[in-house]
């Protein structure tokens, strides 16, 4: 197993650890530690892709597991933020629904031997989601007016990027959805 795939697995392994620190209230500095874990896990996403491309080590495992690891990490964080009333449930549903829809499209394409690469909009979507979640987590630790407003703005941008990237994905790959098959 190459280094990029190991980093993807580390990101998946960090998810339950993140959840322990964010949800158990009696852990001193739990939210701060959870935020650091989320940031570290988010950075592995950027790093594993860079390593795989620069070393020409792109694998089928990585193509499948890397986006899945991202979705699991973001979903865990969003559900936690909903639980703490930091974001509205509709925000989490829009983001998670887009991920299911695109995963479904990728699955249909894969059944026809087509691999759908991540788009530029998808990369922006992931970046805005990660930044919005990090700011929201910081705002949980430091609930100042600044972080509350910044959290709402970045979450709004993440929702917009999520919707735009989802629409873009389906428009560019509409040929995969051949309803006559």
Domain containing 90: what range? 3-176
* CATH number of residue 116's parent domain: 1.20.120.1760
Would residue 181 count as lying in a domain?
Answer: no
Q: Is the pLDDT of residue 41 over 70?
A: yes
Would residue 58 count as lying in a domain?
Answer: yes
**Residue among 169, 154, 66 nearest 121 (CA):** 169
- Round to whole Å and give the CA distance between 164 and 155: 14
Ramachandran angles phi, psi of 57, nearest 5°: -120, 40
Which tens digits make up the pLDDT trace of 13-31?
999 999 999 999 899 999 9
Which tens digits make up the pLDDT trace of 77-93?
999 999 999 999 999 99
Would residue 19 count as lying in a domain?
Answer: yes
Q: What six digits make up the tokens of 130? A: 């990660």
Percentage of residues in the chain with pLDDT exceeding 90?
65
* Domain tally, the chain: 1
- Round to whole Å and give the CA distance between 171 and 58: 26
Q: What six digits make up the tokens of 29? A: 């500095």
Would residue 13 count as lying in a domain?
Answer: yes
Q: What six digits make up the tokens of 70? A: 């991202």
Dihedral (CA of 102, 104, 22, 79) sign: positive
The 10 Å Cβ neighbour count of residue 123 is 14
- Round to whole Å and give the CA distance between 20 and 88: 22
Would residue 166 count as lying in a domain?
Answer: yes
Would residue 169 count as lying in a domain?
Answer: yes
């Amino acid at each position: 197993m190459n280094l990029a795939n190991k980093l993807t697995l580390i990101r998946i392994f960090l998810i339950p650890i993140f959840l322990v620190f964010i949800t158990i209230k009696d852990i001193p500095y739990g939210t701060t530690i959870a935020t650091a874990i989320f940031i570290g896990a988010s950075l592995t996403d950027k790093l594993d892709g860079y390593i795989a491309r620069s070393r020409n080590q792109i694998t089928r495992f990585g193509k499948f597991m890397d986006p899945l690891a991202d979705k699991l990490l973001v979903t865990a964080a969003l559900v936690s933020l909903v639980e703490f009333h930091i974001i509205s449930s509709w925000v989490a549903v829009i983001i998670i629904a887009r991920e299911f829809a695109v995963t479904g499209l990728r699955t249909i394409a894969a059944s026809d031997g087509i691999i759908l690469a991540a788009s530029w909009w998808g990369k922006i979507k992931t970046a805005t989601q990660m930044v919005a979640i990090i700011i929201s987590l910081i705002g949980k630790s430091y609930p100042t007016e600044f972080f509350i407003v910044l959290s709402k703005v970045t979450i709004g941008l993440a929702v917009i990027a999520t919707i735009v990237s989802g629409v873009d994905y389906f428009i560019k790959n509409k040929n995969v959805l051949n309803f006559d098959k």
